[in-house]
A and B are shown apart, each in its own frame.
Chain A
Amino acid sequence: MSHLQAGHYQYDEIDRRFLTERVEQFRRQVERRIAGELSEAEFRPIRLMNGLYLQLHAYMLRVAVPYGVLSSAQLRQLASIGRQYDRGYGHFTTRQNLQFNWIKLVDVPAILNDLAKVDMHAIQTSGNCIRNVTTDQFAGAAADEVVDPRVYAEIIRQWSTLHPEFTFLPRKFKIAITGATTDRAAIAIHDVGIRARALGQGAVGFDIFVGGGLGRSPFLAKSLRAELPQADLLAYLEAILRIYNQYGRRDNIYKARIKILVHEVGIDALREQIDAEFERIRGPKYRLDPEIVESIRAHFASPPFEDLPAKSPAFEAALARDAVFARWAEINTVAHRQAGYAAVTISLKPPGGIPGDATSDQMDAVADLAERFSFGELRVTHEQNLVLAHVRRDDLRALWQELGKHGLDTANAGLIGDIIACPGLDYCALASARSISLAQQISARFADPEQQHLIGELKIKMSGCINACGHHHVGHIGVLGVDKHGVETYQITVGGSAADDAVLGAVVGPAVGYDEVVAKIGRLVDAYLELRAPGERFVDTVARLGVKAFREKAYGTAA
């Protein structure tokens, strides 16, 4: 199909026939529900299997973006759906997916049909199954990449999609994979985290981590297996899921994730069980043949890069004459493995904006820019931004100028304004407190580019309930909203990280009211600026001095 580009897995006719049949099946199910032939109790699990939730104001449809990779045609289709069936926008999530917030049940079959036209769907974006596999947003581009994780993410996607044994797990199951020396996929906070490595002589192996997760009981993943051979990847994942399926708790939803099994049984005992199952099923049926891997790898072949010098005179000249552009280029681009190229983060966090929201017009604009500047593909990041992964340095200024026309040129990737925030009480039926409006106030307060630059890397992550969709436990500053006797109340943590130095943040002081959160964060930032040693990031200073130093500054007490 014409919309599919290099660097993008292409569906075959079997995939497409399946999707068409699935849409028609759901169309009939919706008709039966509307006609009263299905009760809500019968219909609810069916709609959830198709990514359809009932939220505060309307139905919400969560569309799968496998490992965050989109073609420009797919993004245009999402823009079109947003315009036709929603309110002209969509929300990119921490699972690298997209949510529509104002969906009518009666429109969903037509929407799923539109998605299927561009090889997309909403299957397994809800329910107790294996969810969208997530990965490094710079996969296939990053200078520090050792193994392209998209290849294995796609293999895991194919293995896990409609896997009959794992459709009704004790609870949802999330897998993340990285193939770079820097972990940008937050593998430590996933049910299974995978680090793909080069083992020498062209061999690929995997370090497997298990039992990470946030929510009510946060845990970092523990090392389960090192240097798993490529051929055994699916057999080993199968063994993990089987043991989890067998022993994971089903009596208590809050204790059903694999992290609780790891915690209660212990990693060594669990490893014994998994290894035994692995040895039992290891064999031809589950062996990942090199030919299959290579056939998948072919879908992710490098785009036709030009042979360019490492230094771009046009880029260097633009840097010299335009300080605003130079700041954006410094903050929102990263080194590319191909000389003369850069990977670009398109911030969806303008000062005072709603983190992760993009209008249909902005989606169309980014789709156009992806075609013009980045081989027609783009990425969704778990930090709720977009990425054009392969931009010629010669083109960076032109791209930045175009982004500016659509309000997409904010230079804050990784800075204090680049806040992760869940939809919170403004949209989510599970939420206890607002999160978006606090993120808006914080990004507006720290809108000054000079001030953001001065503060440096500072990752604020906010959740509107204990389920932690906003990853607050691993925020450099984390904010958790709870309902305390009908009043929105916020617990602030510091020192968390989801990167290679993964650590859970610590509560810095007593919970505060909605109106106090922004001021408290301001005081924490002031404390950091006062206390930091040269070269230290916020999270480094917390690690060096401990929470107490920040508590004294922000709360005026050592208690």
Chain B
Amino acid sequence: MARPADGLKVVSANRLDSGAVVWLAADDQWQHHIAVASVFEGATAEAALERAKASAATGVVVDPSLIDVTLENGAPRAVRPRERIRSLGPSVRADLGVQAGRRQ
């Protein structure tokens, strides 16, 4: 069951070279699964976003932003439908995207 978690955030972006959706995870590494994304709150979220923007400036990723999440069994899950679809792949093509075991 999801528990209320107002204010919980993860950082997401797209890889510059492939466009693939990525999530800021442990050691500020970009990973393809939201489930392993680092969860931030308040000022730590803003600080994480600043680090992500620094990563964008070096050309690794583009368009980093903070995404609202809840926690399900300890793992982050996007709140808004848009970000849920981004985190999984098209809802109309279960054979594509991360939901199908692809990186993109």
Contact = CB atoms under 8 A, between A and B. Distances in A.
B17 interface: yes
B67 interface: no
Nearest to B56: A40
Given A102-B96, A425-B82, A34 B90 contact: no
B63 interface: yes
Contacts of A488: 81
Contacts of B58: 36
A425 B90 CA distance: 8
Interface stretch (A51-59, A124-132, A498-506): A51-59
B18 A426 contact: no
Contact of A354 (B14, B89, B92): B92
Interface residues of A, number: 32
B6 to A, nearest CB: 13
Interface string A100-138: 001111100000000000000000000000000000000
B104 interface: yes
A290 interface: no
Contact of B97 (A57, A433, A434, A437): A57
B17 A34 contact: yes
A36 B96 CA distance: 30
A426 B91 contact: yes
A33 interface: yes
Given A57-B97, A106-B18, A436-B92, A486 B86 contact: no
A40 B62 CA distance: 7
A315 interface: no
A34 B19 contact: no
Interface in A417-471: 425-427, 431-434, 436-437, 440
A103 B19 contact: yes
B84 to A, nearest CB: 9
B104 A56 contact: no
B21 interface: yes
Interface in B4-30: 14, 16-21
A3 interface: no
B19 A54 contact: yes
A362 to B, nearest CB: 16
A225 interface: no
B70 to A, nearest CB: 12
A34 B81 CA distance: 31
Interface size class of B (residues with CB under 8 A): 20 to 34
Contacts of A436: 90, 92
A488 B90 CA distance: 15
Interface in B74-90: 79-82, 85-86, 89-90
A87 interface: yes
A106 B81 CA distance: 29
Contacts of A483: 80-82
Interface in A342-387: 354
Contacts of B92: 354, 426, 434, 436-437, 440
Q: Is the interface of B mostly helix, strand, loop or mixed?
A: loop
A483 B56 CA distance: 28
Contacts of A105: 16-19
A414 to B, nearest CB: 24
A54 B81 contact: no
Nearest to A424: B92
B101 interface: no
A58 B104 contact: yes
Contacts of A434: 81, 85, 91-92
B82 A33 contact: no
B94 to A, nearest CB: 11
A101 to B, nearest CB: 8
Contacts of A427: 90
A433 B21 contact: no
B90 A426 contact: yes
A91 to B, nearest CB: 11
A483 B20 CA distance: 24
Contacts of B16: 33-34, 40, 105
A122 to B, nearest CB: 15
**Most interface-central of A39, A425, A436, A486 (chain B CB within 10 A):** A425
A267 B18 CA distance: 47
Contacts of B14: 54, 58
B20 A58 contact: yes
A488 B16 CA distance: 29
Contacts of B56: 40
A425 B93 CA distance: 13
Nearest to B63: A54
A36 B56 CA distance: 10
B59 A33 contact: yes
A299 B20 CA distance: 42
B104 to A, nearest CB: 6
A378 B49 CA distance: 49
B82 A56 contact: yes
Contacts of A437: 91-92
B81 A486 contact: yes
A431 B82 contact: yes
A432 to B, nearest CB: 8
Contacts of A57: 19-21, 86, 89-90, 96-97, 104
Interface in B32-74: 56-59, 62-63
Interface of B: 14, 16-21, 56-59, 62-63, 79-82, 85-86, 89-93, 96-97, 104
Given A425-B85, A436-B90, 4 more contacts: A33-B16, A36-B59, A104-B18, A433-B81
The 5 closest A-B pairs by CB, nearest first: A58-B19, A426-B90, A59-B19, A36-B59, A104-B18
9 contacts: A39-B57, A56-B86, A57-B96, A58-B14, A106-B18, A354-B92, A425-B85, A437-B91, A486-B79
Interface of A: 33-36, 39-40, 54-59, 87, 102-106, 354, 425-427, 431-434, 436-437, 440, 483, 486, 488
